[in-house]
């Protein structure tokens, strides 16, 4: 057996992805507010990385056999993040702020605030802000308030105005802190400035009012800081007791989790930093220097007085004209299978399917999975409506969807109160499959017909406007029958089902892919055409990576598009990363199959957790024209020479240099679907 080949470290490879996001913020060809949004995405990504991945690595420091490698990895992460943060700062201060200024928008710092604005800012502070602030004078080892996860604070250095010491360096310093209220808008727009639009951080509004909070003191310094906490719920034993109650208890503990990053203004005086580090019992590993402002994810809400100018608006989702011609979704699906590609095409067809099922007197049963739904979920509302209309409705709710646990608990309670039968998490597993199965009375020999919807993405009408995913409608009896078996497995978990038409992780998914890879290897070794195309968010599972290495060594052309984590070392295997306006989220696997291309859609990334520790769902797309449509869409993505990047053996990213005309695949796919896939322009609101 061949020796296993080298793999990249997963967390460092992920940092490369976030670097790619940052590069979009630096792209002067993009509309200005698009660049600002990429800064917000980068910041949001990094916050989650520290709360989840860095926190997990920090836990290894307490294990003697792992401590040395964990410390080395943390040092490497710190170095790379520091480099990225410096680049972030240069983009923001040297490019974004001047570009805003040239467009008539002045993002002001407190020291730059014009005198004419002082009264407006002070009045806003007194009227809207002051009553929400709770300043705290700190006394080391005596007054040590709890730092909320992700909240913004000002650290305040004070000296008494009554001090008789003339030399400022010898005056006794007092320290205080003020939390910046999260319910306030992060940005304040200041009107009436001679055609200029002035915008101020709420941080600086509060800085300007600190003298009102600390009368009798002179404000010496007011740098900002924030603390990120470990987000891992760590449910100790899922197999005994009440999992829901354990989850609720864990959600409370998350808010008080161990520190994973203390991010502070690098201009904070050393003595002040030492005081805060000692007061909050922080480790040196916790300390991460940053800029004057934090939580740049708030830039999603940065005000644009010229909207939609300076933005790249979302294109209207496409109608599918042929699908619209049917009086109901059930009639359409009975006639043929249907592929939808979001966000290019409207998600409203999914909502129409569910809403029609809720009121159709012939529908007897609805079964569905729920992983991440919208905050005001139209999907959940349709399921509740179905239950109230007398349908038998069963929903498997995965409670352990990170950062969506509370939302899932809330909607599970709502559905249960409406009469929906709720199945909860399988102990020791996550259910990441995305599927819905509707049973409807029919005049056929069975007396019923089933209709299925299988997706690469969540049942979430809001993210469906931003995430690239595929959804597939079918009434094929063999697929629906196996999907019904999967719901039985989720209910009783006997692991006795045999799946042939659908691919289910922990059952047949890995074997299906491995057999297809071996077939491509055999073809290549026989001198026949071969090929493997893989598109995933994350590529980490060692066994599948080794299989791709083996295929490439045998002469199989292997092309991989990976958005985030890539542990595979590019070489014979070509790897590209695509980051653009929409989040690439679909998982697609294609095999040449001696000219009869096989195309699989799946909810599963190629990670150990997805392939071996979750229930994931995949489907081979055989029907035309959908198979050809997918092949064409992903050929467009591979040819993208604007938003895509080649990855070299060190995972460095390089622009794609070729002689082809410039091609941005997301724009090309939208145009292709509009012209060639039974679509017409329109907005169904999905």
Q: What positions carry a catalytic annotation?
A: 432
Strands of the sheet containing 105-108, edge to edge, are: 105-108, 196-201, 187-193
The SS3 call for residue 628 is: helix
- For residue 477, give both structure tokens: 């009896």
Q: Phi then psi for 94, rounded to 5 degrees?
A: -95, -20
Euclidean distance between CA atoms 209 and 125, whole angstroms: 7
User: How many Å from the N-terminal Cα to the C-terminal Cα in the chain?
Assistant: 51
CB distance 297 to 187 below 8 Å: no
Euclidean distance between CA atoms 350 and 317, whole angstroms: 13
Euclidean distance between CA atoms 457 and 372, whole angstroms: 9
Sort strands 614-615 and 430-431 into parallel, antiparallel or unpaired. Answer: parallel
Q: Which residue has the tokens 């094929």?
A: 476
Residue 256's CB: how many other CB atoms inside 10 A?
Answer: 12
The SS3 call for residue 472 is: strand
Euclidean distance between CA atoms 575 and 426, whole angstroms: 35
State how far the alpha carbon of 111 is from the alpha carbons of 82, 200, 265, in Å.
26, 11, 16
DSSP per residue, 237-303: -SSSS-HHHHHHHHHHHHTTPPEEEEEEETTS-HHHHHHHHHHTT--GGGEEEE-S---GGGGGG--
Euclidean distance between CA atoms 452 and 460, whole angstroms: 17
CB distance 16 to 653 below 8 Å: yes
């Amino acid at each position: 057996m061949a020796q296993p080949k080298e793999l990249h470290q997963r967390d460092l490879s992920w940092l490369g992805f976030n670097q790619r996001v940052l590069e979009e913020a630096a792209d002067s060809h993009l509309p200005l507010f698009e660049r600002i949004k990429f800064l917000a995405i980068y910041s949001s990504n990094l916050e989650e990385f520290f709360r989840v991945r860095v926190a997990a690595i920090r836990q290894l420091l307490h294990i003697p056999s792992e401590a040395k490698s964990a410390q080395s990895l943390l040092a490497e992460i710190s170095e790379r993040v520091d480099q990225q943060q410096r680049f972030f700062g240069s983009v923001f201060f040297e490019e974004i702020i001047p570009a805003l200024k040239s467009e008539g928008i002045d993002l002001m710092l407190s020291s730059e605030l014009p005198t004419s604005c002082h009264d407006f800012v002070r009045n806003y502070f007194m009227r809207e802000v002051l009553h929400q602030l709770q300043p705290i004078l700190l006394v080391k080892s005596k007054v040590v308030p709890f730092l909320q996860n992700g909240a913004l604070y000002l650290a305040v250095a004070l000296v008494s105005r009554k001090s008789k010491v003339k030399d400022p360096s010898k005056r006794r310093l007092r320290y205080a802190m003020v939390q910046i209220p999260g319910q306030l808008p992060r940005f304040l727009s200041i009107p009436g400035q001679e055609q200029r639009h002035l915008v101020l951080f709420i941080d600086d509004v509060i800085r300007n009012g600190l003298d009102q909070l600390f009368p009798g003191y002179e404000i010496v310094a007011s740098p900002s800081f924030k603390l990120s906490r470990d987000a891992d719920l760590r449910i100790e034993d899922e197999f005994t007791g009440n999992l829901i109650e354990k989850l609720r208890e864990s959600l409370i503990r998350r808010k008080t989790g161990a520190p994973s990053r203390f991010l502070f203004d690098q201009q904070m005086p050393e003595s002040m930093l030492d005081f805060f580090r000692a007061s909050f019992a922080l480790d040196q590993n916790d300390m991460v220097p940053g800029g004057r402002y934090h939580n740049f994810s708030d830039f999603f809400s940065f005000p644009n007085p010229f909207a939609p100018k300076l933005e790249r608006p979302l294109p209207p989702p496409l109608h599918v004209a042929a699908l619209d011609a049917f009086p109901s979704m059930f009639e359409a699906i009975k006639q043929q299978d249907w592929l939808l590609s979001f966000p290019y095409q409207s998600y409203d067809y999914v909502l129409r399917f569910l809403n029609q099922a809720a009121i159709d007197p012939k529908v007897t049963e609805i079964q569905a999975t729920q992983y991440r739904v919208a905050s005001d979920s139209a999907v959940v509302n349709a399921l509740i409506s179905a239950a109230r209309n007398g349908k038998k409705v069963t929903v498997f709710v995965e409670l352990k969807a990170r950062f969506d646990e509370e939302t899932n608990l809330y909607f599970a309670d709502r559905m249960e109160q409406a009469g929906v039968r709720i199945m909860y998490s399988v102990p020791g597993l996550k259910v990441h499959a995305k599927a819905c199965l509707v049973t409807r009375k029919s005049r056929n020999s069975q007396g019923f017909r089933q209709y299925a919807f299988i997706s690469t993405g969540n049942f979430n009408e809001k993210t469906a406007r931003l995430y690239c995913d595929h959804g597939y409608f079918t009434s094929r009896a063999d697929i629906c029958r196996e999907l019904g078996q999967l719901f039985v497995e989720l209910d009783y978990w006997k692991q006795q089902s045999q799946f042939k038409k659908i691919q289910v992780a922990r059952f047949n998914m890995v074997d299906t892919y491995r057999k297809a890879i071996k077939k491509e290897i055999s073809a290549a070794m026989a001198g026949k055409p071969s090929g493997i195309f893989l598109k995933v968010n994350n590529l980490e599972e060692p066994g599948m990576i080794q299989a791709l290495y083996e295929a490439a060594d045998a002469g199989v052309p292997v092309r991989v598009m990976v958005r985030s984590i890539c542990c595979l070392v590019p070489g014979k295997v070509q790897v590209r990363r695509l980051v653009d306006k929409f989040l690439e989220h679909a998982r697609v696997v294609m095999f040449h199959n001696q000219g009869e291309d096989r195309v699989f859609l799946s909810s599963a990334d190629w990670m150990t957790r997805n392939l071996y520790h979750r229930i994931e769902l995949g489907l081979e797309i055989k029907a035309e024209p959908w198979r050809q449509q997918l092949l064409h869409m992903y050929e467009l993505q591979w040819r993208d020479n604007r938003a895509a990047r080649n990855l070299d053996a060190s995972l460095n990213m390089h622009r794609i240099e070729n002689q082809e005309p410039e091609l941005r695949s997301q724009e090309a796919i939208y145009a292709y679907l509009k012209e060639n896939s039974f679509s017409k322009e329109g907005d169904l609101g999905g």
